[in-house]
Chains A and B, each alone.
Chain A
Amino acid sequence: MKAQDRIRFSVVFSLICLVVLPATYAKTSIQNFAPNPPLGFNSFDSYLTYLSEDKAYALMDVMAEKYLPFGYEYFVIDAGWARNVELYPGSMYPKKSKGVAMDEFGLLEPCQMYFPKGIKPLADYAHKKGLKFGVWFIRGIPRQAVEKNLPIKGTRYFARDIADTSSVCGWNQENYGINMTKPGAQAYYNALIDKLAGWNIDFVKADDIVPDPLEIVAVAKAIEDGGHTMIYSLSPGDVHYPTHVTYYRRANMLRITADIWDNPQSIEKGFIAWEKFQGTERPGFWPDLDMIPFGRLTVVATPDIPNVAEDRRARQSQFSQDQMKTFITQRAMAASPLIIGGDLLTMDDFSYRLLTNRNMLACNQNGVMGVNVYRAGNIDVWLTPHKTDPLMGWIGIFNRSTSPRNITLGKKDLGLIAFEKSYDLMAVRQPFRLESIWSDETITIEDKHVFAIPAEGVLFLKFHQMQ
């Protein structure tokens, strides 16, 4: 090969490399975005739909300093950022809605009162801080866009060509669903996602979408075909249909409970949903037990605001410390995304310690949903296997009653069994070391042990098989 040929060869080869590499990046795969359950903050539990710019910056500052070192990276603004409102004077609390904020194609725009400088500066600030930035949106196209019959960006179709006015959300009147069999329908979702991606958004929480598989798929296509890297989260979690699991898995997160708050029923809902979905997680797909209502909640409705429902008033989370341990242990052992709901600006020390416990986070990021191995007399035992090492894992002994319990459990009750001979299910001979995550206690279990579990509390243990 002459020198000139060699240059020509290497130039051609480099060109091939250059062409191949961008081609690989052109289309993304959602399932690759979340190898472990996502960790972050969502504004709804503390700011409902009233988060404003100044608070968002303040929250990101605290998050970057105190939570990011533990892995909490997604800062997500829930509903309210794309709706214009009239405010009570001197307050960020809305007196009334002035409709969806949208552009000439019916695509969402930032609320003038809450985010006058737009969303992109916030996303850029998040990235500068090492965080990632997410926003909520709701399935469909704004009814205002349908009334005005606005054009669908990049097509010759209009809002009325794609809207299905009989497909409406049960609790939000802003949008109509989209008939995905109509030309222009996919283009609308593409334009919406492209616009959010243009603001450098890393995470979308799509609401009212779980019951609508065609639109679940449409948003997934918009992200992947657009070449975007954007965690895709599905809400709400009230209803599911087993034949739709294959479409849920086009997303990274699927809400599996109705809205969760600081009450005992929400803890029971967690057990029920976890059991129903155990084993369905995948790397890239995480059944989601909803936000974590620890710390100060619904902080915007201060006492001077009139006509606010009692459960929307600013308060400290009503959970007891044992309930909180149970609540976070469920999410650690079920490999649920951990999205903090309480106000980061005023988080109490006890909540912060639970949320940032590295042993708890290790169980969560292990990325395997535990399974129920024992249930009797309101005592549940759940076991979360280590993803690669069969000699270790985590056990939670949960007391689902309202009185403290002492319970004797053997190795079989705890799920610590092995098949010594094929087909012969029996207790393993080896002892196990159990290290408590919420205390300093260490137990060696040879045969059985009496465990003391507080009312509505949990004993959360990491186990190792001993040699």
Chain B
Amino acid sequence: MKAKDSMHFTVVFSLICLTGCSAVHNKTSIQGLAPRPPLGFNSFDSYRSNLTEDKAYALMDVMAEKYLPFGYEYFVMDAGWYRTMNPKKDQDLGLESFGVCVVRQDYFPGGIKKLTDYAHKKGLKFGVWIIRGIPRQAVEQNLPILGTSYFARDIADTNNICGWSQANYGIDMNKPGAQAYYNALIDKLAGWGVDFIKVDDMVPNPQEIVAVAKAIEDGGHTMIYSLSPGDVHYPTHLAYYRRSNMLRITRDIWDNPQSIEKGFIAWEKFQGTERHGFWPDLDMIPFGRLDVVNKQARQSKFNQDQMKTFITQRAMAASPLLIGGDLLTMDDFSYSLLTNRKMLACNQNGVMGVNVYRAGNIDVWLTPHKTDPLMGWIGIFNRSKSPRNMTLDKKDLGFVVFEKSYDLTAARQRFRLDSIWSDETITIEDKHVFAVPAEGVVFFKFHQMP
């Protein structure tokens, strides 16, 4: 090879490398976007649909300073940033010519892009809520679908409506122009630098789940895709849920004991369905000040044991952790739970635990370490209203091995249990008496001892 030839070769080779690289970035894969359960904040539990610009900036400042160092990176604004929730009162949705809604000027005079830029400058990522379908006003005005020869009435299915929001009509995905509408919506949000979308009223509609996934992937966007609400699921739809990164698996969760029970039921139902990139979601964490913009403003009604139970469920179930309470006024106890590095390590391990023991309102759940069979986490939960002393042996705790093939026996080895919510360390050879507070939990990291 002459010098000139070799230059040619290297230039061509370099071009191949460059072309290869850029082609990889053209189309994205949603499943590659969330290798671990996403961590962040969502405004609904504290600001409902009344978050305003000044509060958003203040919240991002606190989040970047006090929560981001622990991994909480997604700042998500729930409903209310554009007018859809109450069209009777909000006569003018401020629709753009192609039917994609615009930002509420009274709440966000600076627009969304400034907020996302600010988030990115702070090292955060920025998310917004949207709801399935096309605004009813766009259908009434029969607005055009961007980049197509179709109009809102060509794609709207006026029979297909949300049970609790009158803002939108569903979209008939068989119609030409339907996919183009979702593409335009997602492209617009991506143009603002949005990194995360929470799509509401979506779970029961597999075709539209797939349509939004396509809009993200074919548009080459990097956007975490979260599905709500979590009231109904159908087992044959799991293949479509997995086109997203997060699937709500409970109804709205609040600061009451029923919500803790809902968590156990949903966790058990979905155990084993998580994937890298797909995380069953136990909803926001209502710790600290809630509903701060209305008459129900209150400190979370959870007691400290309930809070430990609540966050331990989410750690051990590898649920996304989205803080719901007001970051501006978070109490120290809540903050200490939310930022406990051992709890977060269990969550970011990314494996949903499984129920290994249940008797007399005592549940034991075990979360295996994702790569090391010699360690993991166990939670002993007291689902009753009185404190309990419970004798559990290694088999009850899920520490079983197959000593000989097909011979299920308790492991001969000793295990060290390090409590996450206290400094206690236990070595268990055979069995142990565990004291579990009413509605409380003892949460351990375990290691098999040599």
Contact = CB atoms under 8 A, between A and B. Distances in A.
Contacts of B356: 242-243
Contacts of A279: 235, 238, 272-273
Contact of A14 (B10, B163, B403, B404): B10
A456 to B, nearest CB: 25
B11, B236, B401, B406 — most chain A CB neighbours (10 Å):
B236
B293 interface: no
A421 B405 contact: no
Interface stretch (A109-117, A209-217, A445-453): A209-217
A246 interface: yes
Interface in A338-371: 368, 370-371
A239 B159 contact: no
B404 A170 contact: yes
B105 interface: no
Contact of B236 (A211, A241, A373, A467): A373
B234 A422 contact: no
A368 B273 CA distance: 13
B10, B163, B174, B237 — most chain A CB neighbours (10 Å):
B10
B147 interface: no
A231 B434 CA distance: 44
Contact of A213 (B204, B240, B373): B373
B317 interface: no
Given A7-B10, A383-B236, A168 B404 contact: yes
A368 B164 CA distance: 33
B206 interface: yes
Interface stretch (A57-65, A67-75, A318-326, A387-395): A387-395
Interface residues of B, number: 59
B161 A247 contact: no
Contacts of A118: none
Interface string B192-219: 0000000001001111001000000000
Contacts of A13: 10, 14, 17
A280 interface: yes
A386 B373 CA distance: 35
Interface stretch (A85-93, A125-133, A412-420): A412-420
Contacts of A236: 405
Nearest to A247: B373
Interface in A34-83: none
A208 B231 contact: no
A281 to B, nearest CB: 10
Given A13-B14, A211-B406, A422-B163, A415 B7 contact: no
Contact of A417 (B14, B159, B234): B234
A82 B204 CA distance: 54
Nearest to A368: B239
A217 B373 contact: yes
B13 interface: yes
Contacts of B406: 170, 211, 238-239
Contacts of A393: 236
B201, B356, B368, B450 — most chain A CB neighbours (10 Å):
B368
A14 B373 CA distance: 42
A3, A238, A243, A390 — most chain B CB neighbours (10 Å):
A243
A307 interface: no
A423 B7 contact: no
B327 to A, nearest CB: 31
Given A14-B10, A282-B275, A390-B210, A241 B400 contact: yes
Interface in B218-272: 231-232, 234-240, 271-272
Interface string A258-282: 0000000000000000000011101
A385 B174 contact: no
A171 interface: yes
Contacts of B14: 10, 13-14, 17
Contact of A385 (B3, B240, B408): B240
B304 interface: no
Contacts of B403: 166-167
B351 interface: yes
A246 B353 CA distance: 10
A386 B238 CA distance: 11
A421 B408 contact: no
Given A279-B238, A371-B236, A385-B240, A419 B366 contact: no
A441 interface: no
Contact of A419 (B10, B204, B402, B407): B204
A239 B408 contact: yes
A7 B370 contact: no
A89 to B, nearest CB: 35
29 contacts: A3-B7, A10-B11, A13-B10, A13-B17, A14-B13, A17-B13, A167-B404, A214-B374, A236-B405, A241-B402, A243-B368, A243-B376, A243-B398, A245-B368, A279-B235, A279-B238, A282-B275, A371-B235, A385-B240, A388-B239, A390-B206, A390-B210, A390-B237, A418-B204, A419-B232, A419-B234, A420-B160, A423-B204, A423-B231
Interface of B: 3, 6-7, 9-11, 13-14, 17, 159-164, 174, 201, 204-207, 210, 231-232, 234-240, 271-273, 275, 351, 353-354, 356, 366, 368-374, 376, 398, 400-408, 450
Closest 4 CB pairs of A and B: A211-B402, A419-B204, A390-B206, A213-B373
